[in-house]
Amino acid sequence: MAKPEILKKKSLYSYIPKLFTVLINIVIVKLKDSGFGCSINNIFIGCILYADDIIVLSATVTGLQEMLNICNNTILDMELSFNCKKSVCIRFGPVCKYTITDMYIGSSTITWCNSIRYLGVNIKSGSCFKVDTDIVRRKFFASCNAILGNSVQQAELYV
């Protein structure tokens, strides 16, 4: 017979992803209702998520800071926090050539950078949206060379 403590722990952990979904949905709704952020055909795309990775999109720096303030205040109300050490800002369009002051989540500084890696994709800052495929291409050719190099060596052994 199983111990009740083990069942309680297992049951609690099974609800954590669902709880995170509910909590992050509160943040998304507040961002959408704020009027800040980007939208296409009246569909809000100002907040893009995959698991616990969040992208906040705004057409203006002021709008971005307001969205970060909303995120921070909402998360603080839930007694949670962001890991600001892993957070960065990137810009696209004509503003990419100008120096822009850092953004803030609470009292933590979020700096601007020239490229980011999101879900394995390298995205570069510039006058338009750019994806850097050089790194992926190099890794692909390195893998191919390793496979072909091993197969050639094995073929030479059989000759």
Q: Measuring CA to CA, which residue among 121, 25, 112, 107 is closest to residue 74?
A: 25
Q: Which residues pair with 43 in a beta bridge?
A: 40
User: Which is higher by pLDDT, 62 or 158?
Assistant: 62
Q: How confident is the model over 26-45, as a mean pLDDT?
A: 93
Q: How confident is the model over 117-141, as a mean pLDDT?
A: 81
Q: Measuring CA to CA, which residue among 34, 102, 117 is closest to residue 73?
A: 34
Residue 20 in contact with residue 27, Cβ under 8 Å? no
Instruction: Pick the most confident of 5-9, 34-38, 110-114.
Output: 34-38
Residue-wise DSSP of 50-89: ETTEEEE--SSHHHHHHHHHHHHHHHHHTT----GGG--B
In this prediction, residue 3 has a pLDDT band, given cuts at 50, 70 and 90, of: very low
pLDDT of 85 reads: 86
Q: What is the pLDDT of residues 107-128, one digit of tens each?
A: 999 999 888 888 878 888 888 8
CA distances from 92 to 29, 121, 123, 132, 142 (A): 25, 16, 10, 14, 31
Question: How far apart are the C-alpha atoms of 123 and 116, rounded to whole Å?
Answer: 5
In this prediction, residue 152 has a pLDDT band, given cuts at 50, 70 and 90, of: low
Q: What is the pLDDT of residues 59-110, one digit of tens each?
A: 899 999 999 999 999 999 988 888 888 889 988 888 778 888 899 999 999 9
Q: For the packed helices 61-77 and 4-34, what is the interaxial angle rounded to 10 degrees?
A: 150
